[in-house]
Amino acid sequence: MDRIVDLTHTLDNRTPVFPGDDPMSLRQVRALETDGHVNHRLEMGMHVGTHMDMPMHMIEHGQYISELAPKRMLGRAQLLDVRGQDFIDRLPAGLRSDHTVVLVWTGWDQYFGSDCYFQQHPVLTDALAAQMVSAGIEMVIMDIPSPDRSPFAVHHRFFEQGIILVENAAGLGQLQGWESIMVLAVPMKIKADAAACRVLAWQEPPVR
């Protein structure tokens, strides 16, 4: 494990929120010079920046993200290069059965913070979602704010099968050409339907 890559957007006061959601606020409330210590206060929804969604976000499901088993946060991944596609409709040939994570690389993270980011992003088709379910995928990580739009059929298909989603990932292109990718996505342990998370990736050493 020579190199670990961070696939997470930094949270700050410039971090965009989904249209209609409450704005986030990150501010320093204590200063070293006057208080003897530094402290910050954060107010935000659970779907801001790079974050993980649990099924209960959109369907009747009793498990909070704080109850997610640690083993569900780690998996072997395949990078799906779909740059330039508005409607993503198929998995690559040769998806290995031991891959439980798909990284959907659209390149859309270059627009993070711009007006078009939430309104014009690529989407996954329901046919692709069905392929992922059949392939035994357990986590989908993407550099877009949502895999679909209203009425959110793709969300529902994933969630009904217990697949967890990570939205607003960053820098998936750093993994281009990698083999045997391992991914770790660790959300805050909070009793909610979703949470900000840190996403890391590295290459497994070749088997000798």
Q: What is the pLDDT of residues 39-58, one digit of tens each?
A: 999 999 999 999 999 999 99
Q: What is the DSSP string of 113-128?
A: TSTTTTTS--EE-HHH
User: Confidence class of residue 179 from pLDDT cuts 50, 70 and 90?
Assistant: confident
Is 181:77 a contact under the CB 8 Å cutoff? yes
Quick check: helix, strand or coil at residue 57?
helix
Q: Where are the domains of the chain?
A: 4-8+46-203
> Which DSSP letter does residue 187 get?
E
CA–CA separation, 96 and 93 (whole Å): 9
Average pLDDT, the chain: 94
The confidence score (pLDDT) of residue 32 equals 97
- Given a contact cutoff of 8 angstroms between Cβ atoms, the answer to whether 108 and 147 are in contact is no
Task: List the CATH code of the domain at 4-8+46-203.
Answer: 3.50.30.50
Q: Residue 92: pLDDT band by 50, 70, 90 thresholds? A: confident
Q: Three-state DSSP class for 41?
A: strand
pLDDT, mean of residues 161-181 = 95
Predicted local confidence at residue 46, as pLDDT: 97
